[in-house]
Amino acid sequence: IPGTKINLDCTGLFCPEPVFRTKVAVEKMQTGDVLTVLADDPAAEDDISKWVSRSGHELVKMKKNGSVIEFTIKKVK
């Protein structure tokens, strides 16, 4: 069912784990699915944002809540 929402908690993990786990999760998703990733590694902000744009998916939003960054990623292809 496209449009499924999936959550991935990468808090407590450090580079390259958050971006690697995000990549693996997106590869298993269907086009149109949405992934929410939580990460508290400061490098994740750049790493995940850049990976999403390089891979052709859509970073719907990114917000910070204290030290935790929440990414909402839509699988485009």
Q: Which residues are the active-site residues? A: 15
Region label for 44, one of left (φ > 0), alpha (ψ between -120 and 50) or beta (otherwise)? alpha
Distance CA 14, CA 38 (A): 12
